[in-house]
Amino acid sequence: DSGVTQTPKHLITATGQRVTLRCSPRSGDLSVYWYQQSLDQGLQFLIQYYNGEERAKGNILERFSAQQFPDLHSELNLSSLELGDSALYFCASSVAFNEQFFGPGTRLTVL
Amino acid sequence: ELKVEQNPLFLSMQEGKNYTIYCNYSTTSDRLYWYRQDPGKSLESLFVLLSNGAVKQEGRLMASLDTKARLSTLHITAAVHDLSATYFCAVEYGNKLVFGAGTILRVKS
């Protein structure tokens, strides 16, 4: 158990819908990262927040957005969902910009 | 942009045999990580390699880093069934990790 928690564990929804994935970092960690894992794209970095501020952006679609709140938890919002958005979404956290510890993931299925 | 290549992508091994997974990357980086992932599960950190010539060992797994060659290896000694999983290398690039495609390891008894 890495100490990073993610909810929900599974999410099944329909195309066109919007969902929110939640992540709580390890105690003391200020950085939160979001990754997407899919069969065709592998593991891809989406976005990073440090102490509430966006610090790095990867291959994140415009339909996706994220934020980190004052209590340091983070949410990833996915809207206008498409079949291709079905994937495992991981959150990771680190103290600053060092070793990242991964949460259990949220499996999103878009039907 | 940083590219990370792993090979092989699939490895079927007999118990008791040795093998090596290779991870090549295209741009200088400060850190390289190896992770293990069981089906449907999260990523478990195995090794963090910080400098040229770094070698770390844990049980039957040993990882090394050659920053000049931009190459890391994960060596498996006397494989056992419990090592069956997918292994990823990841290279730190800016504030993010860039992952290889992963190596699916199956150890047959």
Q: Are the Cβ atoms of B99 and A105 closer than 8 angstroms? A: no
Nearest chain B residue to A92 by CA: give it: B43
Residue A85 dihedral angles phi and psi, to the nearest 5°: -85, -10
Strand ranges, E, within chain A? 5-7, 10-13, 19-24, 31-38, 42-50, 53-57, 64-68, 74-78, 87-94, 101-102, 106-110
User: Can you spell out the DSSP letters for B8-42?
Assistant: -SEEEEETT--EEEEEEESS--S-EEEEEE-TTS-
Set of chain A residues whose Cβ sits within 8 Å of the Cβ of B42: 2, 90, 102-105
Q: Are the Cβ atoms of B88 and A107 closer than 8 angstroms? A: no
Write the DSSP symbol of residue A2.
-
Asked if A5 is an interface residue toward chain B (Cβ–Cβ < 8 A), one would say no
Supply the pLDDT for residue B29.
84
Supply the pLDDT for residue B51.
81
Asked if B19 is an interface residue toward chain A (Cβ–Cβ < 8 A), one would say no
Over residues A11-60, the pLDDT tens digits come to 999 999 999 999 999 999 999 999 999 988 999 999 999 999 999 999 89
Q: Name the residue with higher pLDDT: B27 or A86.
A: A86
Q: What is the pLDDT along chain B (109 residues), one digit of tens a residue?
A: 899 999 999 999 999 999 999 999 998 887 999 999 999 899 999 999 988 888 999 999 999 999 999 999 999 999 999 999 999 999 998 888 999 999 999 999 8
Set of chain B residues whose Cβ sits within 8 Å of the Cβ of A43: 88, 90, 99, 102
Q: Which of B40, B41, B43, B67 is nearest to B53 (CA)?
A: B67
Supply the pLDDT for residue B30.
76
Q: Are the Cβ atoms of A48 and B43 closer than 8 angstroms? A: no
Supply the pLDDT for residue B52.
82
Supply the pLDDT for residue A20.
98
Cα gap A86→A94, rounded to integer Å: 26
Q: Are the Cβ atoms of B95 and A97 closer than 8 angstroms? A: yes
Write down the residue that tokens 């200020």 correspond to: A30
Q: Are the Cβ atoms of A48 and B98 closer than 8 angstroms? A: no
